[in-house]
Amino acid sequence: MITLYQLPPAFDLPVSVSPYCTKVEAYLRLTGRAYETAKGDVRRSPNRRVPYVAGIEGEALLADSGAILAHLEAEGPALDAGLSEAEVQKTEELQALIQRDIYFACLYARFVDPAGWVHQKPTVKALVPWILAPILVPIIRRSQVTACAEHGFTNAAHYTRAVTAIERVSNELGDQRFLLGDAPHVVDCTAWANLMHTAHTLASNPAREAVRADHRLMAYLDRVTTRLELTLPPLR
C-alpha cells in the first residue's frame, strides 16, 4: 500500500492544506490505488518538502508531486494513456500555468496577505512543536513570502496573473466535463487541487472571486469532487 506523507487538512477541507499534496491524493483516488495518508516530516523527505510517498515499487521514498505522478503513470494504470502528442503538450502547458500563476496566488493569499495570514497562522502553528512555535512560525512565513517573491508575487496587483490563468483554464474547459473531454486526466488533478484551494481560501482576493464567479469552473470542481468521492464544505 502507498503511504502519502503530506501536510494535514485544514479549513474543514477533507484533503491536505497543500495543493501539491492534494494533487497526489486526487490522482491516487482517480486511479483506484490503495493508499493511506500520514503527516509528513520534511526531515525524512528526499527533497525536504511534502508530499513524498512510500510503498512504490523500486523506491524507498519518492518526493515531488510531478515525479510521483510520473512514476505511477509509468507503472500503470495511467490516466494519460493514449493521449496524442498535442494533448500531452497542452496538458504540460496548462499544468505549468496553474502551478505558476494560480498556486502562487493562493500561497500569497495565505501567507503574505495580512487578511489571509490571520487564518493561515493557526494552521502553521499547529504543525510545529508548541515550544518552538514563536521561532518557527515566522521562519516558515518568511520562507513562503520569499517563494512568492521569487515567482513574481510581491504585491496584490499580481493577482491579475492568477485571474488571467483562471480564465485560460475556464476557456480550455469550455463545455467539456473535464479538461480533455469526458474522462479525467493528470491535468485535472492539478487543476482541481489548485482551483479548489483557491476557491476555499478564507480571505477574499481577486483570484478567489474569479473562481467563485465562474459557474463553469465551479461546476467542474463539483464534478471532480464527486468523482473523487469527497465532500467539500460550503464556501465561507
Q: For residue 208, tell me if it sits in a domain.
A: yes
Specify burial of residue 209 (Cβ count, 10 A radius: 0-12, 13-18, 19+).
Answer: middle
d(CA 10, CA 19): 12
Shared domain check, 48 and 96: no
The residue among 75, 110, 135 that closes a domain is 75
54 and 114 within one domain: no
CB atoms within 10 A of CB 122: 10
> 62-94 pLDDT, tens per residue?
999 999 999 999 999 999 999 999 999 999 999
Query: What's the pLDDT tens digit per position in 141-164?
Result: 999 999 999 999 999 999 999 999
Look at 52-66, 70-84, 175-189, 199-213 and tell me which has the smallest mean pLDDT: 52-66
* Mean pLDDT, rounded, of the chain: 97
106: left (phi over 0), alpha (psi -120 to 50) or beta: alpha
Residue 60: the pLDDT is 86
CATH of the domain at 96: 1.20.1050.10
| Same domain as 217, residue 102 | yes
The pLDDT score that the predictor gives to residue 57 is 78
The edge-to-edge listing of strands for the beta sheet with 62-63 is 35-39, 2-6, 52-54, 62-63
pLDDT of residue 59: 76
Q: Looking at the chain, which runs of residues are DSSP E strands?
A: 2-6, 35-39, 52-54, 62-63
Residues with Cβ within 8 Å of residue 122, at least 6 apart in sequence: none
| CA–CA separation, 206 and 10 (whole Å) | 22
Structural domain includes residue 233: no
Q: Where in the sequence is the domain holding 141, given as residue range(s)?
A: 85-227
Say whether both 100 and 201 belong to one domain.
Answer: yes
- Is 177 contained in some domain? yes
**Do residue 130 and residue 216 come from a single domain?**
yes
Do 69 and 106 lie in one domain? The reply is no
d(CA 208, CA 206): 6
Q: Are 105 and 163 part of one and the same domain? A: yes
Same domain assignment for residues 94 and 71: no
**pLDDT at site 115:** 96
pLDDT at 58 over 90: no
Could you tell me if 165 and 206 lie in one domain? yes
Tell me the C-alpha to C-alpha distance, in Å, between residue 141 and each of 55, 58, 132, 200: 32, 35, 14, 20
Task: Report the number of distinct structural domains present in the chain.
Answer: 2
Give the C-alpha separation, 62 to 46, whole Å. Answer: 7
Q: Which of 30, 49, 75 is a domain's end point?
A: 75
Could you report the per-residue pLDDT of 3-24, keeping only the tens digit for each? Answer: 999 999 999 999 999 999 999 9
